[in-house]
Amino acid sequence: MPLYTTDALILRTYQLGEADRIVVFLTSDRGKKRGVANGARRTKSRFGGGLEPLTLARLAYFERERRDLVRLSYVDPVRSPLRSSDSSVLGHVGYFAELIDECAPEADPSETLFRLGAAVVESLGGEIRVEQLARYVEYWILRLQGVYPSLLRCHICGGDVSDGGRLDPAAAGMSCRGCATGSGFVLSGASMRFLREAAITAPGAASTLTLAAPAARELERAHRQLISNHLEKELRSLRVLRAMTRDDARQAVKGNIT
């Protein structure tokens, strides 16, 4: 039974029996894996805090042929965004982890997806606004999945869409202002500029992009519909983000009143 050592991104865990956990993790060289962490739920587990979602780690596992589950030997955490004190960052940890988990195929290596996930961990808690990072990550994951519409030309007339238009998730196309109908999501020129810059910007440099709040809201609505259409369901972590947004709004109103 060979032992593999690799860099990995922890995506999620769930209980197995009384003391163990199933761990879903994305490796840099062998794609997404599922493994058993024996004794991980015990107080003095050797895995410690290395199994928290979106932890970047160095880990080792044993794998047998024709077995769906590997067996984790050790997990050495390198970096975790859960150390942040920013509630917005903490709220997005589960969202990023679930989004990557849902879109990463089993045992199918994607160096680009792994680098994107690792860059998310490095960026959280840095200078970049987490909402801007989310729009960047959503764009790239949808692009890697092959479902992001072309940003070059109107899919109806072939006209220019650089100054904005309408994105129709159902038709998987971007239409210019002249061809735009009532369906889909209006994207301004600011949104289009962000997307075009995101397309040529490495994950580690995402903080250099500019995204104003109105454009961020446009892209948030459009991306979440694209993701729901692609996965044929809504991500559970979005409920947490929506609840946080409502709480923040209530706090802002209370602050203005007082």
Task: Give me the pLDDT at residue 252, please.
Answer: 44
Q: How far does the chain reach from its first CA to its final CA, in angstroms?
A: 65
Task: Give me the pLDDT at residue 152, please.
Answer: 87
From the first residue on, what is the mean pLDDT of each consecutive set of 10 residues in the chain (258 residues)? Answer: 92 94 95 95 87 95 89 94 84 95 91 94 87 96 92 91 90 86 90 96 91 96 94 93 71 50
Task: Give me the pLDDT at residue 256, please.
Answer: 52
Encoded tokens for 223: 């991306």
Between CA 32 and CA 9 the distance in angstroms is: 9
Domains and CATH numbers, the chain: 1-126 (2.40.50.140), 129-257 (1.20.1440)
pTM of the model: 0.90
* 50-79 CB burial, b ≥16 within 10 A, e <16: bbbbbbbbebbbeeeeeeeebbbbebebee
Between CA 122 and CA 226 the distance in angstroms is: 26
Between CA 99 and CA 160 the distance in angstroms is: 31
State which amino acid sits at residue 163: D
CA torsion through residues 191, 192, 193, 198, sign: positive
Are β-strands 3-16 and 70-79 bridged in parallel, bridged antiparallel, or unpaired? unpaired
What does the DSSP assignment read for the chain?
--EEEEEEEEEEEEEETTTEEEEEEEESSS-EEEEEETTTTSTT-TTTTTTSTT-EEEEEEE--TT-S-EEEEEEEEEE-GGG---HHHHHHHHHHHHHHHHHSPBT---HHHHHHHHHHHHHTTSSS-HHHHHHHHHHHHHHHTT-SPPSSB-TTT--B-TTEEEEETTTTEEE-TTT--SSSEEEEHHHHHHHHHHTTS-GGGGGG----HHHHHHHHHHHHHHHHHHHTS--THHHHHHHHHHHHHHHHHHHHH-
Sheet with 164-168, side-by-side order of all strands: 173-175, 164-168, 185-188
Between CA 100 and CA 146 the distance in angstroms is: 15
Which residue has tokens 């910007």?
201
